[in-house]
Chains A and B, each alone.
Chain A
Amino acid sequence: MASTAKTVEAVISAAWGKPQSWTLDSYRSRGGYDGLKRALSMEPAAIIDEVKKSNLRGRGGAGFPTGMKWSFVPKDSPKPKYLAVNGDESEPGTFKDRYILENDPHMMLEGIAIASYALGVHTCYVYLRGEFKFQAERTQAAIDEAYKAGIFGKSLMGKEGFALDCFLVRGAGAYICGEETALLESLEGKKGWPRLKPPFPAVVGLFGCPTVVNNVETLASVPPILAKGADWYAKLGTDKSGGTHLVCLSGSVNRPGVYEVGMHTTILELIHDDKYGQGMPKGRKVKAVIPGGSSAPVLGADELDVALEFEALKMKQTMAGSGGVIVMDDATCMVRSLWRVARFYAEESCGQCTPCREGTPWQTRLLRKIEEGRAEMSDIDMLSNVASSIAPYPPIGLGNTICALGDAAALPTHSFLMRFRDEFEAHVREHRCPYGDHPWGSFGDWS
């Protein structure tokens, strides 16, 4: 399809691909740190109000309003407060934060500075997944530049009496550390076991102190809000969700990649428009799309005229999640796809809660049996029951576990079964995978 999708103003990705875009000089030449300058002339409470008015919602998965989260931090706490940046980026199908870290890390650092000033935070930890070696080097270089330029350090960009330290920490390979309380445990030097909530991190977080956990993209969205105003930012989006956002397009589509889109951009536009995915591989049609990282319930081909936005996707009983849009074409086996997703959650369960610890490998075993043509019809019902015992559906969010990894493991199963049950039954009836040795769609045969 030619480009008919409405053009979207690039707020976050404007500098990507420009020479040296990751350096402080480049960032400053584009008005970088002007937002911080304005913030430092304001009352902290007014900054939080500005972010509230912008309708910025968290980009890490849950879409929680950022200004509201910041306002939960107690103002009169005698304890220090912390900011923890979530750069764990491990939800399958998600690869946007790395592009911010690679192309424009100062945008995130300015967001950190503004948030810290607004919240009275003097120490920030940036937690990056362990596999981000190159991204960690880039980010550390930017942090070093910011210290040298007097942005971080004893006085925040010249603000007497307001010190801000920023430390980078690398994880070591554990998806669960993206869950905010597991991230805090990991930052405390422990294994990543999620904590029971409440208390929420805003009240009892890192080292028992009030802590805000925000995603990389969320923080990178803050400087433009301060520089250009909350009204401008809010107007870019919908009533309930301000700004633009990054989506990660992958799977069976001609041009996978990270695209900055509006809150109105639909899945169909993302897949087919010349500005974005440039359509399906030749002769193929869309069969299924996971719209928000592998934990988001899958949609069928007739459900894709929907905006990639929190509220619109919620109406379809799925979620915008982390912005990972995974496309499967009509030559892809749904059982094989779900089996792979289920294996991931079984592998990454921390093992604290029985439904998650026992249920996730059980799902995997049943799916393997179905895919290999060894299952009976009753195994399909069993699979559905196992998923329900981890977390029923719909609606989303009824999980029986400490953290939402349980939900993340059950939602794919429920939604695949709801939309593609006939394929599961065909495996049982034919005692084999109908796709034979080619279950992975049109790009699945590597050479």
Chain B
Amino acid sequence: MAEPLFTPEEQKKFDAGIAEILSHYPSDRKSAGMLPALRLLQDLKGWLPPDGLRLVAKSLEVTPERAYEVASFYVMYHLKKPGKYVIDVCTNLSCSLWGAEKMLAYLEQKLGLTAGETNDKFTLRETECLASCGTAPCLQINEDHHERLTQAKLDAILARLS
């Protein structure tokens, strides 16, 4: 038999989360909860497995195709299982003016990955402006934000990731 999607603990969190989300919208607009519901699923599982997408769709009374359509539009949703650490490096203009392209090249070399690739531990991605242009260069690791990065600072951050 296939593994169940959720542990009992996760199931409880999911059900409570969906109930909270739905309470924010008119009762005939359940589907409006799609973005928060997908986030809830991703927070629980680390990505959006197909079973989970079907469950979200069912909870919001829409088709699974609709859930997939939304999930695939937004870059922060993972339709494939990412590495344990997702590193998003901003290389937009203001950051590149503070060395972001060089910082990305350093990371690629250090992690042995090209931007866009995943190994067991890391997913490395190039991303767009993260609203830290005044404290460039910057990146996010699993949505935690790091700014004003130097090579020494970046090395120290990476050393803490086990």
Contact = CB atoms under 8 A, between A and B. Distances in A.
Contacts of A152: none
A380 interface: no
Given A92-B129, A326-B93, A446-B98, A258 B145 contact: no
B129 A91 contact: yes
B96 interface: yes
B102 A189 contact: no
A268 to B, nearest CB: 19
Interface stretch (B1-9, B11-19, B69-77, B109-117): B69-77
Interface in A220-256: 248-252, 256
A93 B128 CA distance: 11
Contacts of A252: 97
A447 B150 contact: yes
A164 interface: no
A132 B131 CA distance: 9
B135 interface: yes
A326 B95 CA distance: 10
Contacts of B35: 169-172, 186, 189
Interface string B113-147: 00000000000000111111111110010011100
B44 to A, nearest CB: 16
Nearest to A442: B97
Interface string A259-295: 0000000000000000000000000000000100010
Nearest to A337: B93
Contacts of B29: 188, 207
A74 B68 CA distance: 36
A95 B134 contact: yes
Contacts of A97: 131
Interface hub of B26, B75, B77 (most chain A Cβ within 10 A): B75
A174 B144 contact: no
B62 to A, nearest CB: 8
A192 B76 CA distance: 14
A349 to B, nearest CB: 12
Interface string A151-178: 0000000000000010101111111000
Contacts, number: 159
Interface in A158-214: 165, 167, 169-175, 186-192, 207
Interface residues of B, number: 49
B81 interface: no
A91 B130 CA distance: 9
Contacts of B50: none
Interface stretch (A16-24, A30-38, A64-72, A340-348): A340-348
Contacts of B135: 256
23 contacts: A93-B129, A94-B131, A98-B131, A130-B39, A130-B76, A169-B35, A173-B75, A174-B74, A186-B35, A190-B34, A191-B70, A192-B73, A207-B32, A328-B97, A340-B91, A344-B92, A348-B128, A440-B97, A440-B99, A443-B97, A444-B98, A446-B150, A447-B150
Given A174-B75, A294-B92, A324-B133, 10 more contacts: A90-B131, A91-B129, A131-B145, A170-B39, A171-B35, A172-B77, A186-B35, A189-B70, A444-B97, A446-B151
Which 7 A/B pairs are nearest by Cβ-Cβ distance? Answer: A446-B99, A189-B34, A172-B74, A191-B73, A173-B76, A250-B133, A173-B75
